[in-house]
Amino acid sequence: MESTPAGEAVEVSREALTFARSLAAEGGGVPVDAVLVGEPSAELAATLAAYGVRRVHALTGEAFASYAGAAWAAGVQDARETSVVVMAAGTPRGNEVMAHVAAREGVAMAANVLSFSGLSPFVVTRQVVGGAALEEMRLADRPAVFTVAGHAVEAAPADVPGSAEVVVRAPAVAEADLVARVVSSEEPEPDLSGTLKSARVVVGAGRGAGSAEGFAELVELTELLGGSLGVSRVVTSLGWRPHHEQVGQTGSRISPELYIPCGISGAIQHWAGCSTAKSILAINTDPEAPMVTKATYAVIGDLHEVVPAINAEIRRRHR
Amino acid sequence: MKVLVCVKRVVDSSSEVVLTDDAQAVDGRYAGFTMSAHEECAVELAVQVAAATGGSATVLTLGDADAVEQLRAALAVGCTEAVHVLADSSTYGPADVAREIAAVAGDFDLVLLGNDAADSGDFQVGIRLAYELGRPVVNGVTNVSVADGIVTASGAGTDGHETYRVPLPAVVTVLEGGVEPRYPTVPGRMKAKKVPIEERSPVASPVGPSRVRLLLPPPAPSNVQVLGKGADAAPAVVDLFEQLGVLSR
């Protein structure tokens, strides 16, 4: 269970709780417990109750003061007691801690699961090849360890709320599990991918931008829309824009209200990073480009003609 | 110091993904093969750390005979030695791969891997390797440096830019983004062809990858609404922005 610095449950964790509840129902109505580091705020406890959580295991103590994947996994193991399924959201932290748990338990782990199909044997379907293919995978009966892909399910509160009884735990953690821990953390620079991930509008650009200098009108459109600029891998490989602006399988995964990919053909790796955008407006010279056929809206044309015209029209109407 | 960097031969999935007839693997016959983007950066960091410490960078892969291509690619950009565990990687799960790497990695001070492979996306080989070796592991970083027996590794984390300092020997998994992998030079390629590659047999029979089968997601029907062509489409686009409520002023 992950929460924001303000103590609110992050959406992917609420999705994971929703997934857990459907799994628990399939298993005959077994209870769902949550593990988190630190004690929950009143707001977070209320959210956990609303999502049907029976018990909240709050990991406290010096061992959990800063992030250490192995220590957090030890805490999860301590809290899981007799639970037969251990799962987390498919975030970097979620994947890492679950991989530690699986290695310690000596069982398989499935990353980025979308659904399950049967409990005995326990078979899950997960994303591979950046979401371009799916894998059906068999997991151990106890514990089954996996992470849930973002937007695999829609987050929804339970019909019957849970009690979210808080159990404070301070398990002993072996020294070896604390060797690799975060020793310092600095605020991200304001233009890092955090902005990209949370932007309502993202203007995307690919090889069609033509050069590092070819971004002026794209940056202007981004500013006019109050959004963020996201680029394809080829753009960062060519050194036209910095890597933190990259959208895709090995860059940021974005879910804006509107994504405007300009001059991006829509390679699988890029699609992996933008497929959860609510709407996509593709601007491309090729009407058959995958990004165009998968988009909600499209303009067929050269971005260097289309984007300045859009910018001029916005300025005309919203001067 | 001795650095080991692990790479995996994967299908280049930038074009259409096709499955083999038995639905157990992605068919690379037409797409070609490459190493994962995270691993390209791990190779670059391995070469940099080896140079900074006056040590060596060895590249390791587990795969069939064709995987020598990825070893040569790493040798062409600065690795100086290569180990090839000859095996059909499709029959190996993450725990199997970790066990085979551990059989080689015992002599190395630092083992670098990609955070996850572009094909299987398992997120766990590095972590399982660390448990096999009884060493600390740092995950998903973009910067790695070594001094005085301590590896400092950092990258973007949940709470900002996070730094770890762990004693050697250690395992570190790398994300793309912190370094620019260098392109092989012609002399680099020529030199790489001559480097002898140590071939090894697996130390254990694989348990397997827990895979039932692969499948392709159903193609989404195209429902694209074309707003126009060229600059003439601008008014329709701005109408759309207003309709979606995304214009900031």
- With an 8 Å Cβ cutoff, are A176 and B134 in contact? yes
Amino acid identity of residue A310, one-letter, is I
Among A250, A256, A79, A100, smallest CA distance to A167 is for A79
Chain A positions in Cβ-Cβ contact with residue B223 (cut-off 8 Å): 296
Q: Please give the residue of chain B at the shortest CA–CA distance from A175.
A: B136
Tokens 């963020």 sit on residue: A228
Give A260's strand partners. A203
Chain B positions in Cβ-Cβ contact with residue A279 (cut-off 8 Å): 244
Give yes or no for a contact between B13 and B118, defined as CB atoms under 8 angstroms apart. yes
Give yes or no for a contact between A298 and B224, defined as CB atoms under 8 angstroms apart. yes
HSE, CB side, 13 Å, CA atoms: give it for residue B40: 18
Using alpha carbons, list the distances in angstroms from residue A298 to A221, A273, B38, B99, B226.
16, 19, 32, 49, 5
Which tokens go with A141? 């009966």
Task: Name the B residues in 136-165 with CB < 8 Å from any A CB.
Answer: 136-140, 156-165
- With an 8 Å Cβ cutoff, are B137 and A180 in contact? yes
* Gap between the Cα atoms of B30 and A105, Å rounded: 39
Chain B positions in Cβ-Cβ contact with residue A281 (cut-off 8 Å): 227, 237, 240
Which tokens go with A152? 């695999």
Give yes or no for a contact between A128 and A134, defined as CB atoms under 8 angstroms apart. yes
Counting Cβ atoms within 10 Å, is residue B76 exposed (0-12), middle (13-18) or buried (19+)? buried
Strand, helix or coil for residue A49: helix
Chain A positions in Cβ-Cβ contact with residue B95 (cut-off 8 Å): 103, 108
Listed in sequence order, the residues at least 6 apart from A288 whose beta carbon sits closer than 8 Å to its beta carbon are none
Note whether B224 contacts A: Cβ–Cβ < 8 A.
yes
Chain B positions in Cβ-Cβ contact with residue A91 (cut-off 8 Å): 158
Strand-strand pairing, A133-139 and B170-174: unpaired
Nearest to A133 among B17, B165, B223 (CB): B17
pLDDT by residue, tens only, chain B of 249 residues:
999 999 999 988 777 788 999 999 888 888 889 999 899 999 999 999 999 999 999 999 999 999 999 999 999 999 999 999 999 999 999 999 999 999 999 999 999 999 998 889 999 999 999 999 999 999 999 999 999 999 999 998 877 889 999 999 999 999 988 888 998 999 999 999 999 999 999 999 999 999 999 999 887 788 999 999 999 999 999 999 999 998 865
Chain A positions in Cβ-Cβ contact with residue B124 (cut-off 8 Å): 95, 99, 102-103, 109, 111
- With an 8 Å Cβ cutoff, are A182 and B120 in contact? no
* Gap between the Cα atoms of A50 and A296, Å rounded: 34
* Gap between the Cα atoms of B31 and B20, Å rounded: 13
Note whether B116 contacts A: Cβ–Cβ < 8 A.
yes
Q: What is the pLDDT of residues A127-165, one digit of tens each?
A: 998 888 999 999 987 899 999 998 889 999 999 999 999
Note whether B207 contacts A: Cβ–Cβ < 8 A.
no
Listed in sequence order, the residues at least 6 apart from A107 whose beta carbon sits closer than 8 Å to its beta carbon are A139, A140, A143, A144, A145
* Gap between the Cα atoms of A37 and A171, Å rounded: 12
Chain A positions in Cβ-Cβ contact with residue B157 (cut-off 8 Å): 67, 92-93, 182, 185
Chain B positions in Cβ-Cβ contact with residue A72 (cut-off 8 Å): none
Mutate to test the interface with B, among A107, A276, A306, A311 (most CBs of B within 10 A): A306
Task: Name the B residues in 3-42 with CB < 8 Å from any A CB.
Answer: 11, 13-15, 17, 19, 26, 37-38
| pTM beyond cutoff 0.95 | no
For the segment A274-278, the average pLDDT, to the nearest whole number, is 87
For residue B136, give how far its alpha carbon lies from the nearest alpha carbon of chain A (Å).
Answer: 6
Mutate to test the interface with A, among B36, B248, B249 (most CBs of A within 10 A): B248
Omega before B169 within 30 of 0, i.e. cis: yes
Q: What is the pLDDT of residues A32-47, one digit of tens each?
A: 999 999 999 999 999 9
Give the Cβ contact number of residue A2 at 10 Å. 19
Q: Report helix, strand and coil shares of chain A as percent, to nearest 5.
A: 35, 25, 35
* Gap between the Cα atoms of B16 and B29, Å rounded: 12
Give yes or no for a contact between A276 and A140, defined as CB atoms under 8 angstroms apart. no
Q: What is the pLDDT of residues A36-87, one digit of tens each?
A: 999 999 999 999 999 999 999 999 999 999 999 999 999 999 999 889 999 9
* Gap between the Cα atoms of A137 and A24, Å rounded: 19
Note whether B111 contacts A: Cβ–Cβ < 8 A.
no
Give yes or no for a contact between A90 and A69, defined as CB atoms under 8 angstroms apart. no
Using alpha carbons, list the distances in angstroms from residue A72 to A44, A104, A167, A177.
19, 12, 16, 9
Listed in sequence order, the residues at least 6 apart from B67 whose beta carbon sits closer than 8 Å to its beta carbon are B9, B61, B84, B89
